Amino acid sequence: MRDDDLIALIITLVIGVVALAIYIGLIVLGVSIARRKNRSPHWMWFAVHPLGLLITLIVMAALSPLKLCPQCAQKSPMHARLCGFCGYNYEAPAAFAPQHAPGVYVPPPRY
């Protein structure tokens, strides 16, 4: 093996490692955006294909965030006034909100 071949091999390996690091970094970025917006980070599984990574990152950046219901922990759009799952009123004063101990399961009320 000549010295030129060895240098070319090392340069190729370094470029490959840098490209892989950038690729994994973009996937981690997409997962953090999804978590920040209360969206499922499992959408980033589309990133197994580079085009899927690009599309998922653009969609993740464009999606509006969701808010978590304090009563049933389901996700609703930010503009929602009532929870679509349990009917929790997001605009009610906090004093009237049901108070539960953290970590205790509370079934949603029946209507």
Binding to Zn ion (CB under 5 A) within 21-80 occurs at 69, 71-72
Binding test (CB under 5 A) with Zn ion, winner from 43, 46, 85, 90: 85
Residue 86 makes contact with Zn ion by CB under 5 A: yes
Say how many residues touch Zn ion, by CB under 5 A: 7
Nearer Cβ to Zn ion (12/89) = 89
Nearer Cβ to Zn ion (30/39) = 39
Per DSSP, the residues of the chain read --HHHHHHHHHHHHHHHHHHHHHHHHHHHHHHHHHHTT--GGGGGGGGSHHHHHHHHHHHHHSPPEEE-TTT--EEETT-SB-TTT--BTTS-GGGS----TT---PPPP-
Binding site for Zn ion (CB under 5 A): 69, 71-72, 83, 85-86, 88
